[in-house]
Chains A and B, each alone.
Chain A
Amino acid sequence: MTTLTNRAKPVSRKPMTFIESIYLWNIFKGMMITLRHFFKKKATIQYPEQTRPFSPVFRGVQILNRDEEGRERCTACGLCALACPAEAITMEGAERMPGEENLYREEKYAAKYEINMLRCIFCGFCEEACPKDAIYLSETFAPAAYNRKNFIYNKKDLLIPDPKTEPEEYAEAKGLREISKKNK
């Protein structure tokens, strides 16, 4: 028989001798292997206490961004929804009224912004498509939920905390990327 590589080893078809057929020596060799593993460093990561660092290009749950003054960046242009291959994003635009300049950065904003996390494939095209730097993918993943409704994330779930009123939460949400880099 011709072989593709020279790594192939022919199988020995010899009948076992009496010593071999009581298996003792081979079992002993196997037991030495398991004993070696007994003292090896364990591969376990104690999950809730320890987390594994994400890769720097990890794409997790989306975050709707605010600018430094705490105004929403999104202008409901719909480019993210257009770019989304899974058609997970829906939004409704609205006009900014006088007196709302501290809430929204541009004259138009998203009154409703929903991402269906059951459809989302975390490809990150929304982040790429956004001209306003209003949406980006964080390094957390969507937590489990008991029904489908809870997987449709609305603005309340997606918006980053206001840097002016909740600076700590904002820094935490912003800093996730940096923290996970530090863990490495």
Chain B
Amino acid sequence: MIHLLTIDWLLLLEKLVLIVIVVMASLVIAMYETYAERKIAAFMQDRIGPNRAGPFGLLQPLADGGKLFFKEEIIPNHSNKILFILGPSLAMLTAMMTCAVVPWSGDLHLFGRTIALQIADINIGILYVFAVVSLGVYGIMIGGWSSNNKFSLMAALRGASQVISYELAMGISLISLLMMTGTLSLKTIVEQQMVSHWNVLYQPLAFLIFFVCALAECNRTPFDLPEAESELNMGYHQEYSSMKLGFYLFAEYVNMFISSAIMATLFFGGYDIPFFNEAAHADWGNWLALAGVVCFMIKIALFIFLFMWVRWTVPRFRYDQLMNLGWKKLIPLALANMLVTGAVLLYLQHK
């Protein structure tokens, strides 16, 4: 039996607070992503977008959420009830779980304790991300399957095959990065980038492939085949209403936030402030950590903008184009990138 006194209760409390903050923050950010999406879409189409609820329409997400809550909750008669409810819950859960390993910034020093701004610095951080992200597709699959609707089932199939094809390229593109860093811990990867250069300078092709695959993983246009409004009539969430639908839509935005965070961490130095030597300004203490959070958030915001920019530019791929791009283009490119990286690393070692 573990003696109760040996457990660091303060650590548990500290982590609990951090979890609450991170989960709340990602929900709020996801809320305002919906607002940003509508605004950006409008601006790119020469419109103004929502501007009636509150100043500049800033209360629009609240109005949308309120609307979803008050809508009628419908569970189709012929659906599998347990799976039908499990679908959106799983989508939301997996979306939220990924943020556990993201290092938000350097250490804070409060009340004589060193608080790491990361829920769990596990040494297989990236592996964990991959594991959870690939669970995310179960939300789509289960939801589509249990709806007992042909369109939803088609969407579930598409979602599954899409994720399988793109996760492969994503993994291979990351291997070349991992060969350079030599670690799977996200925190260590960021710290390496703080002392040398950002990984994107060494691995631009890997970043590009990773970005394309991230679009596919998040089911964002041009890879939004599972929900393809015009073909599948909303796809896997066709039978969903009220907050269950809200969860699906919300999970997509949380996913986008998290994958932006992962990309910023892996390739763009995470909470590293560009053109600024953190080690020389260690006396800033907590302010340095907070500046890191702000910088990280700016990077994430830029990525989210990029996601939306792509969405409102590129039309949806056809299913065969999607498969072609995944299997015949991205995977060979990722493999080639991996081989070249390996060769260069070997050469540098034996020089």
Contact = CB atoms under 8 A, between A and B. Distances in A.
A46 B50 CA distance: 11
Interface stretch (B17-25, B226-234, B310-318): B310-318
Nearest to B315: A30
Contacts of A103: none
Given A40-B46, A42-B48, A31 B325 contact: no
A43 B46 contact: yes
A36 to B, nearest CB: 9
A11 interface: no
Contact of A38 (B44, B208, B324): B44
A78 B325 CA distance: 74
B329 interface: yes
B309 interface: yes
A44 B57 CA distance: 15
Nearest to A44: B48
A150 interface: no
Given A22-B325, A34-B309, A35-B309, A27 B314 contact: yes
Interface in B273-326: 309-310, 312-314, 324-325
Given A21-B329, A22-B329, A27-B314, A43 B309 contact: no
Residue from the set B43, B51, B208, B310 with the largest chain A CB neighbour count within 10 Å: B43
Interface in B38-76: 40, 43-48, 51
B224 to A, nearest CB: 15
Contacts of A21: 324-325, 329
Contact of B44 (A23, A37, A41, A43): A37
Given A21-B329, A22-B329, A34 B48 contact: no
Given A21-B329, A22-B325, A22-B329, A31 B313 contact: yes
A33 interface: yes
A30 B313 contact: yes
Nearest to B325: A22
A34 B312 contact: yes
Contacts of B324: 21
A38 B41 CA distance: 9
B333 to A, nearest CB: 8
A46 B313 CA distance: 26
Nearest to B222: A27
A43 B44 CA distance: 12
Nearest to A29: B313
Contacts of B47: 42-44
A37 B45 contact: yes
Contacts of B208: 24
Given A22-B325, A22-B329, A31 B309 contact: yes
A34 B313 contact: yes
Interface string A11-32: 0000000100111100100110
A31 B46 CA distance: 15
A27 B313 contact: yes
Contacts of A44: 46-48
Interface string A141-158: 000000000000000000
Given A30-B313, A31-B309, A31-B310, A37 B325 contact: no
A18 B43 CA distance: 33
Nearest to B310: A31
B93 to A, nearest CB: 33
Residue from the set A23, A34, A37, A38 with the largest chain B CB neighbour count within 10 Å: A34
A23 B317 CA distance: 11
A135 B123 CA distance: 85
Contacts of A24: 208
B74 to A, nearest CB: 29
A21 B208 CA distance: 15
A155 B199 CA distance: 78
Given A31-B309, A31-B313, A42-B48, A37 B329 contact: no
Contacts of B48: 42, 44, 46
A31 B314 CA distance: 8
A35 B309 CA distance: 8
A33 B45 CA distance: 11
Contacts of A33: 313
A22 B330 CA distance: 8
Given A21-B329, A22-B325, A37 B46 contact: yes
Given A35-B309, A43-B46, 14 more contacts: A18-B329, A21-B324, A21-B325, A22-B330, A27-B313, A31-B309, A31-B313, A34-B309, A37-B43, A37-B44, A40-B46, A42-B46, A42-B48, A44-B48
10 contacts: A21-B324, A21-B329, A22-B325, A22-B330, A37-B43, A38-B44, A42-B43, A44-B46, A44-B47, A46-B51
- A-B CB proximity, top 6 nearest: A44-B48, A34-B313, A34-B44, A30-B313, A31-B313, A38-B43
